[in-house]
Structure 1
Amino acid sequence: MGKIHDRIDGRLRAFIEAQPVYFVATAPEQGGHVNVSPKGYADTFAVLGDTTVAYLDLDGSGVETVSHLRQNGRITIMFCAFSGPPNIVRLYGTGRVVLPADPDFPELIRNFGPHPGVRTIIVVECDRIADSCGYSVPFMSFDQDRTLLDEWTGRKDVQRRRAYRAKHNRESIDGIPGLAPEETDPVTHHS
């Protein structure tokens, strides 16, 4: 059934990179709401090393992951096989938020496909890498990525994106600080 891995080997990496969707889970330190976010665009996720992964944090209606990571760093990323042999891979670890102004941002952004509306990059140091059977995960076919997020972001000028981020990305639904005012400025970083 399940197995614990000490690193992301070639087989796990191939599985992760083949998935068109993944799920990110975080939670506040105490109480509050556990957050699970589905992520699309396979080119927004990268395996950086044996135990290090990263993904693009694109414009969105909330800032739960950023808030929770800044508070406690805990994160789990899950991949499910919706086609082919059944499999689930979970990457447990400690995440950090990399802002466009951070020195390692320019190098990290090169790992991803082109998307407007890049807020941050989330880097995760995995301390537990596990797979399990996924026997009950249904078969589903992947038709194509929805392009709506990129289109929505692309239609907004800097002022409208700044106002949106100021309204929706300053704190989590539980009032935990998210992006600071100086961090909501939508610099023109295309991945």
Structure 2
Amino acid sequence: MARIYSELNDSHLAFIQDQHLFFTASAACEGRVNVSPKGMDSLRVLDAQTVAYLDLTGSGNETAAHIRDNGRLTIMFCSFVGNPLILRLYGQGEVVHPRDAAWPDWRRHFEDLPAERQIIVLHIETVQTSCGYGVPLFEYQGERETLPRWAEKKGEQGIRDYWREKNQLSIDGLPTGILEN
């Protein structure tokens, strides 16, 4: 049975802290829907209506483009061990880049991670829980080392070059804002 809340409560916070993986979902007004898995201890709950994650460089930058288009963002957690539960956070997204004046205020919440690109903030409007009875059981084995090795090999300038080549436009041709001044 699904339940709706206006903000995160203590049981939601405890559940989020136990998760190693979360998913983001976004879509522009037109075009493809994007769903992305995220991990590496990159998400922080800042208060009952705000979460943020340190977004790492990837092959695309769909979430940033979609937020620029209409702001809509959903973050989903689901349990793979223990009690079955799915937790969705619906709201308006905000993208904070290292060039932004607000960057230091947001960035202080995170540990250093490889290939940092931007911070995605979700201003929560609705929290929904539902059963996770259909979610299979999986055991967490650890984080992959691929991204840290890739980022180290690329270096800071190589990552910026990668953004220029791969992260400026969404798959549907929408601007992401990654290199704007």
Normalising by structure 2, report the TM-score. 0.95
Cα deviations across residues 114-164 of structure 1 (Å, max 9, x unaligned)?
212111100111111010011110111001111211221122123321221
User: Counterparts in 2 of 1:26-65, with a 5 A limit?
Assistant: 26-30=26-30, 32-41=31-40, 43-65=41-63
* Counterpart AA for 2:44: A
Partner of 1:131: 129
Runs of 4+, deviation exceeding 2 Å:
179-183
Q: 2:106 aligns with which of 95, 102, 108?
A: 108
Q: Find the aligned partners of 1:128 and 1:181 in 2 and give their Cα distance.
A: 31
User: Counterparts in 2 of 1:92-107, with a 5 A limit?
Assistant: 92-107=90-105
Partner of 1:23: 23
Normalising by structure 1, report the TM-score. 0.91
Identity percentage over the alignment? Answer: 46
Q: Find the aligned partners of 2:160 and 2:129 in 1 and give their Cα distance.
A: 40
Matched, 1:2 2:6: no
Cα gap change, 1:158/1:129 in structure 2, threshold over 3 Å: closer, same or farther? same
Gaps of 5+ in 2: none
* Counterpart AA for 2:101: P
Gaps of 5+ in 1: 184-191
Q: Find the aligned partners of 1:164 and 1:82 in 2 and give their Cα distance.
A: 34
Q: Find the aligned partners of 1:136 and 1:84 in 2 and give their Cα distance.
A: 13
Q: Find the aligned partners of 2:148 and 2:85 in 1 and give their Cα distance.
A: 29
SS of structure 2 residue aligned to 1:155:
helix
